[in-house]
Amino acid sequence: MKVFSAEDVAANLPYAHAISVLRQAFLVSHHCPPRSGYVLEEGAPEQGVPGLLGVMPCWNNRFVGVKIATLFPGNPDAGRPAIQASILLLDRQTGAPIALLDGTEVTRRRTAAASVLAATFLARADSERLVMLGSGPQARHIVLAYCAKFPLTSVQIHSRQTRNAVALVVELRTLLPHVTIMVAENLADAVSDADIVSCATSARDPILHNDWISAGTHVDLVGAFRPNTREADSDLMTAGDIYVDTREGVLAEAGDLLIPIQEGRLNAGSIKAELSQLIDGSATGRIHDDSITIFKSVGTAFEDLAAASAVWEAAQRCK
């Protein structure tokens, strides 16, 4: 069984390839049972915040994948990632394990790729200005993935922890020397001038407000994957054209939609289309340059399976 480190995953799954892999994955039949989640109450840390364990299986006619992910909210205070994951890849015909992958790196790359894939249908093709809300590892991947697909000339980073935003800016400047990258000093001003706004935060309450959004902006909502948390306010969700990665996942988990639905301001029919419908052409994305488009994602196990199998296949070709 081959073991793929985070560095191995990065080498075999560059962003442009990840976007292409997911585009195909959304058109292929997969079997994805509901993910299972468990609260790790016994042995919880002294601060009383238990960890979470998630198990996400999926299979197609070639591979079986099982992602095991943990969320430990106190980890960042000790310099460790809050979310960590491993992916076990098995042969569909024999059940034999063939690879164990760093699921954290796979998840970050496929999440960024899904956002950018959606943006190819929903953002203006000439988008140059990105504002990134969040400064964690996922934010880094999102910025790099957008720069791989869009002609970005300006990126602004906003974080509740200014030092984290500064650190990310410094890192990105070395990786993207052709792009002007800076901290968003005034978030409202930065957002109002953006072509694309992406949010990858742990916010519980809205941090992105409709009053800031200009006509033509594409809004990418990656964080807030619980029914009682959200990143965008209800006014924004009712003002924009809403697209999602999967209806099933979003309507089960995404407070960005569920809270306005509870308020009576949206309903399930407010979702224009799933990402698969944009890809197969059965639904249309952006129509007008001045439309406000919103993409809400919560992730799905077949994205993990597609990305993990792509890493394994790329390594096989290099033998």
DSSP 31: B
pLDDT at 226: 87
Number of H helices, E strands in the chain: 11, 14
Q: Which residues of 293-308 are buried (b: 16+ CB within 10 A; e: fewer)?
A: bbbbbbbbbbbbbbbb
pLDDT band at 247 (very low <50, low <70, confident <90, very high): very high
CA atoms within 13 A on the CB side of 142: 30
Out of 17-26, 46-55, 140-149, 177-186, pick the least confident: 46-55
pLDDT at 78: 81
Task: Record the tokens describing residue 298, joined without a space.
Answer: 């919560």
CA atoms within 13 A on the CB side of 126: 2
Across residues 57-63, what is the average pLDDT? 96
Across residues 46-61, what is the average pLDDT? 86
Report the distance separating Cα 107 and Cα 96, nearest Å: 23
Q: Which helix (H) or strand (E) segment is 239 a member of?
A: helix 234-239
**Among residues 256, 281, 289, which one has the least CA distance to residue 271?**
256
Report the distance separating Cα 101 and Cα 119, nearest Å: 27
Contact 199, 208 (CB under 8 A): yes
Order of strands across the sheet that contains 63-71: 2-4, 97-102, 83-91, 63-71, 51-59, 36-40
Taking the model in full, what pTM does it have?
Answer: 0.94
Report the distance separating Cα 69 and Cα 82, nearest Å: 10
**Among residues 100, 104, 101, 68, which one has the least CA distance to residue 84?**
104
pLDDT band at 50 (very low <50, low <70, confident <90, very high): confident
Contact 292, 240 (CB under 8 A): yes
Angle, CA of 182, 178 and 112, to the nearest 5°: 70
Q: What tens digit of pLDDT does each residue of 126-153 get?
A: 999 999 999 999 999 999 999 999 999 9
Across residues 226-234, what is the average pLDDT? 94
Task: Record the tokens describing residue 172, joined without a space.
Answer: 């990105």
Share of residues in the chain with pLDDT > 70 (%): 97
**Among residues 111, 31, 135, 131, which one has the least CA distance to residue 298?**
111
Angle between helices 301-317 and 15-25 (to 10 degrees): 120
Count CB atoms within 10 A of the CB of residue 7.
Answer: 10
CA atoms within 13 A on the CB side of 83: 17
In this predicted structure, the answer to whether residue 117 has a pLDDT above a threshold of 80 is yes
Count CB atoms within 10 A of the CB of residue 227.
Answer: 16
Task: Record the tokens describing residue 73, joined without a space.
Answer: 């909210």
Across residues 63-92, what is the average pLDDT? 90
Out of 91-100, 167-176, 222-231, pick the least confident: 222-231
Contact 192, 213 (CB under 8 A): yes
Across residues 182-201, what is the average pLDDT? 97
Report the distance separating Cα 180 and Cα 196, nearest Å: 15
Positive or negative CA dihedral for 61, 250, 224, 238?
A: positive
Looking at every residue in the chain, the average pLDDT score rounds to 94
Q: What tens digit of pLDDT does each residue of 249-267 get?
A: 999 999 999 999 999 999 9
